[in-house]
Every structure is written in structure tokens, then in C-alpha cells.
Chain A
Amino acid sequence: GENVEQHPSTLSVQEGDSAVIKCTYSDSASNYFPWYKQELGKRPQLIIDIRSNVGEKKDQRIAVTLNKTAKHFSLHITETQPEDSAVYFCAASISTGGFKTIFGAGTRLFVKA
């Protein structure tokens, strides 16, 4: 089945710096790659997603890139702010054998003011 690995597990940056979180997936049949943000004590919420026929997508300060050949995708946050502090999860969705979304282990991002 699909396996998603996420790095780093913890990331600390200074306010205003950029943050990059990287994920790899194992199943080439995965075709949808969402990213979720989870603030402390709250539910995960979608922040950006990318489909397999697109290499890059940007939404204000966040962007996601996808390299299908290498099975890599990354989240980039620019001009980080303290409110960006949260746990971020990457995920891969696959349609073979049922429509399943498999998550990475998460990255805890700290943005220091």
C-alpha cells in the first residue's frame, strides 16, 4: 500500500524566514497531494493541494511543488509569521483499491517572533 514519509519532524524558524517541508510517497498511482495544518487542540484543515498533472501551485505565502518522477512533493511557506506555528501534514490520495488518503507523520513548525 501507499507509504508517505515526511521530513523534518520538527522545524524552528525565525519570523520572516522561509520554511520548507518535504514528503515522499511510494505508490506511483497516487494522484492527489493535499497539505493540512493542525493547530494545537484543533482538527486538521486543508491549506493547499496539488494534483498529479500539475508541477507547482501557489496561494499567497504558501506553495507546493510536485516531482512525480522522484515521487517527491514539498510545502514552502514564505515570510513566516507566529500564527504559522502548527503541525503540518502532507498526504497522498490513491484511487486503486478504494479512494484512500494516507498521511505523513507530521512536521511541528515553530515560528519565533
Chain B
Amino acid sequence: IAGITQAPTSQILAAGRRMTLRCTQDMRHNAMYWYRQDLGLGLRLIHYSNTAGTTGKGEVPDGYSVSRANTDDFPLTLASAVPSQTSVYFCASRSGTGSAGELFFGEGSRLTVL
């Protein structure tokens, strides 16, 4: 089934541990994004990638890193998790060119940092 897949769907993590959230799409979209969703704060952009080999910082990049080695994969890494990173994380890819086009979201990864 074509779409965007995230893993894991849910994870409990001890503070200080390293964690990588995986995101894979098979729609051959150039642009990919990571958002975090917190109650009352909406969807905040963490990092983005307009095409394979390039990445950029979003609104809340601190404590997170990404890589884009190929078109399909866009992993998000928390080098040393802190409780404030408890959130639901959504990966998305975008159709179209330029700044316009629908975002297709994954099902989300619920991360709890204790």
C-alpha cells in the first residue's frame, strides 16, 4: 500500500537515552518533514528536507537531528532524550513542487520520556 510509514508507533524511553524514529515513504515525494504535536500547540516543525541530501531546521530543532540519504527515508534522532520531548511525532511528505502541495502524514509515533 502506497503511503508513509512510521516506526515505532509508541515508545517509552528513559531520559538520556538515544532514540531514532523511522519514516519511510514510497510515493517518491521530494520533500519530507518532521512535526511534533503537543496539546494546545498544534503541529510544530522540527526539521525538513526538500530533496535527498539536503535538510533544514524548522521551528523547534534543538535536541533533534535528521538525515536524508535517499528519497524514501527520513529518520529523526533524539541524541539524549529529555522529558520535554514527550510528544506525538508526525512524519510527512509533500506532493507538488515549490511550497505548495498536500502534506501526507504518517500515523504518528507517541514518545514518552521518563
Contact = CB atoms under 8 A, between A and B. Distances in A.
B48 A98 contact: yes
Nearest to B51: A99
Contacts of B108: 43
A30 to B, nearest CB: 8
B45 to A, nearest CB: 6
Contacts of B45: 100-103
Interface in B38-63: 40-45, 48, 50, 56, 58-59
B58 A105 contact: no
Contact of A93 (B56, B99, B106): B99
Interface residues of B, number: 26
Interface string B87-114: 0001000100011111101111000000
Interface residues of A, number: 29
Interface of A: 1, 6, 9, 30-32, 34, 36, 42-46, 49, 51, 89, 93-95, 97-106
17 contacts: A31-B99, A31-B100, A32-B101, A44-B90, A46-B102, A49-B102, A93-B100, A95-B98, A99-B31, A99-B50, A100-B45, A101-B99, A101-B103, A103-B35, A103-B42, A103-B44, A105-B41
